[in-house]
């Protein structure tokens, strides 16, 4: 029911704060970028890990600062009334698929392929988000993450699993940081 007492139909749209969507998107994207960057630190020399961790953390803080303090007009985006339920379903399916990747890759002797396959799942999860959030920018995010996954898979198949892990981690982090900046720039 709406505040006017009418029952909402599945085709109704709701107004969602553009400011809230942008801030949440920036926070989530920058946070996952940092996680991807940290996940790849095991492949770099030990002496470089702390400086790279600091650099990744500073970059994340800058992206967050720009995105969270940027003044925005109080405008709304029209989303389907079921947008949050659909968004949560995409997240749940993504989580199940990532779990499935681990359940298959480990017993088949390919645990080093997990980051690449997880990245494929992450790239694919952006596809329905384009329509759910009416966020066209996520098309480029999905394509860029898929390209990173392909490059990583090529390195893995060529017998360079450490390079594959580095490509996956750094590539995903860069794409997600860039997407976070794009989201912060959206009016």
22-26, 28-32, 66-70, 96-100: the lowest-pLDDT one:
66-70
- pLDDT tens per residue across span 131-176: 999 999 999 999 999 999 999 999 999 999 999 999 999 999 999 9
- pLDDT of residue 11 exceeding 70, the answer is no
Overall residue count recorded for the chain in this entry: 187
pLDDT at 68: 82
Average pLDDT rounded to a whole number, residues 39-53? 92
For the whole model, what pTM was predicted? 0.90
pLDDT at 80: 94
- pLDDT tens per residue across span 81-138: 999 999 999 999 999 999 999 999 999 999 999 999 999 999 999 999 999 999 999 9
């Amino acid at each position: 029911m709406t505040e006017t007492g009418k029952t909402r139909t599945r085709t109704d749209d709701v107004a969602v704060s553009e400011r809230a969507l942008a801030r949440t998107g920036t926070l989530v994207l920058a946070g996952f970028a940092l996680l991807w960057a940290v996940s790849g630190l095991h492949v770099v020399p030990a002496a470089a890990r702390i400086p790279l961790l600091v650099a990744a953390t500073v970059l994340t803080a800058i992206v967050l600062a720009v995105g969270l303090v940027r003044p925005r007009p109080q405008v709304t985006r029209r989303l389907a009334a079921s947008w949050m339920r659909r968004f949560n379903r995409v997240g749940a399916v993504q989580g199940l698929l990532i779990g499935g990747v681990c359940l298959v890759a480990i017993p088949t002797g390919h645990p080093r392929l997990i980051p690449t396959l997880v990245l494929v799942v992450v790239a694919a999860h952006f596809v329905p988000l384009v329509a759910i959030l009416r966020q066209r920018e996520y098309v480029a995010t999905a394509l860029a993450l898929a390209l990173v996954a392909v490059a990583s898979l090529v390195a893995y198949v060529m017998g360079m699993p450490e390079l594959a892990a580095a490509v996956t981690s750094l590539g995903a982090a860069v794409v997600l940081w860039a997407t976070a900046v794009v989201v912060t720039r959206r009016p």
